[in-house]
Amino acid sequence: AAPPRSPAEPPPPPPLQYSVLLQHLVGDKRQPRAWDPAALGGIPCPPKSEEQKMVERVMESCPFKAALACVGGFVLGGAFGIFTAGIDTNVGFDPKDPYRTPTAKEVLKDMGQRGISYAKNFAIVGAMFSCTECMVESYRGKSDWKNSVISGCITGGAIGFRAGLKAGVIGCGGFAAFSAAVDYYLR
């Protein structure tokens, strides 16, 4: 038998109920904790200055992303154009005189023209895709694979639409599928 309690002694607390525990863990009475990496053994980070915040806002803006994709596309397209011209056996070929060997100057001129042509095309496609992806992401408020598929469809459709409605639909589907594949392998 339990010993008798004195009147000055407080009564024992009631047994902890599951629903009361849940209210403290996930319910209305939950107290959010500030995330401190130093408490977890991480390296503490000083607060960001206004300049750092401004640079982050600029780098996350749609115009900056589009400009970066445009420059990257120009460089990649130029390199790809020069490479394909370098392995093409018809560079510098003159149909009027098929037995004449082209000069180095003619070959380099053709390589430069093809490199610039590819560079401009890649730059336009890169800027269009990046800009539409950023706008779709801003509109949806999410960053997932659907953004790249939607923007791929818009970009491919816009490029293909110049050749007609059927080419626009094929371009939309093809570019969306390519964007989904690239996004799948990169994430």
Q: What pLDDT is recorded for position 17?
A: 74
Angle between helices 104-140 and 145-160 (to 10 degrees): 130
How far, in Å, CA of 111 to CA of 134, rounded? 34
Nearest Cα residue to 160 out of 175, 173, 171, 145: 171
Phi-psi map region of 92: left, alpha, beta (phi>0 left; psi -120 to 50 alpha): left
pLDDT in tens, 27-67: 677 777 666 665 666 676 788 899 999 999 999 899 999 99
Check: CB of residue 127 under 8 Å from CB of residue 73.
yes
Angle between helices 62-87 and 104-140 (to 10 degrees): 150
Residue with tokens 């923007």: 151
Report residue 1's pLDDT band, with 50, 70 and 90 as the boundaries.
Answer: low
Residues 6+ apart with CB under 8 A from 171: 156, 157, 158, 159, 160, 161
Average pLDDT over residues 107-115: 89
More confident residue, 55 or 86: 55
First and final C-alpha spacing in the chain = 65
- Residue 91, both tokens: 């560079």
